[in-house]
Amino acid sequence: MRKRNGLIVVGFIVFLFILFGMSSIGKDSSVPAPNRSSGSSSSSSASGQPVESNSTLLEESSSLEGYYWEGYLDQREKFQNPLEEKEYKDILFSSELTDAIAGSGYMWYRVDDVVTEIPDGSYVKVTYEGPILEVYPAIFAKVVKVEILE
């Protein structure tokens, strides 16, 4: 009887491990991974020892589009209906940005190191290099350029 109960407990624990592992496999990250290559990489030789190689390829840049608000990018497609866009902007101008970020349902990114003046509510394209830090709001590793698209 004890052996049977022990097997049931072990089986249940294994089931929980499998369930936890399967649930984490299906999760999709909402932060897009940038396409980039770095100047150096390492690989393994046939003996298993790491081999360092340098490349002359420059790091590729990626870009995202969305609405700019107080140093943040609200990644979404541009509104095609001017009334919807006006309503969206009115809500953001009249609310605290932290409340808007939490309740928008879209991905927000912090845009640091912008050297040009970008008016709030502008639809912009942010070009960046490197990874996006997976925090919320997400943070670009290196902003290369911010251009107004409207």
In a domain, residue 19? The reply is: no
Residues 54 and 40 sit within 8 Å (Cβ to Cβ): yes
In a domain, residue 28? The reply is: no
In a domain, residue 47? The reply is: no
Name the domain count of the chain: 1
> Which of 139, 143, 88 lies closest to 118 in space, CA to CA?
143
- Reported as a pLDDT band with limits 50, 70 and 90, residue 63 is very high
Task: Kindly report which listed range (6-20, 90-104, 123-137) carries the lowest average pLDDT score.
Answer: 6-20
pLDDT score of 53 more than 60? no
The pLDDT assigned to 62 comes to 92
- Reported as a pLDDT band with limits 50, 70 and 90, residue 9 is confident
Q: Can you give the residue range of the structural domain that contains 103?
A: 61-148
Q: Which residues contact 17 (CB under 8 A, 6 or more apart)?
A: none
The pLDDT assigned to 106 comes to 78
Residues 136 and 108 sit within 8 Å (Cβ to Cβ): yes
The pLDDT assigned to 72 comes to 92
In a domain, residue 26? The reply is: no
In a domain, residue 75? The reply is: yes
In the predicted model, what is the mean pLDDT of the chain? Answer: 75
For the stretch 77-123, pLDDT in tens is 999 999 999 998 888 888 887 777 877 677 899 998 787 889 999 99
In a domain, residue 8? The reply is: no
The pLDDT assigned to 17 comes to 65
In a domain, residue 34? The reply is: no
| Average pLDDT rounded to a whole number, residues 14-43 | 50
Q: Which residues contact 41 (CB under 8 A, 6 or more apart)?
A: 52, 53, 55
Q: Which residue(s) pair with 147 in the sheet?
A: 125
Q: What is the CATH number of the domain that holds 83?
A: 2.40.50
pLDDT score of 35 more than 60? no
In a domain, residue 66? The reply is: yes
| Average pLDDT rounded to a whole number, residues 120-138 | 91
| Average pLDDT rounded to a whole number, residues 46-62 | 53
Predicted TM-score (pTM) of the model is: 0.58
Tokens of 123: 């639809």
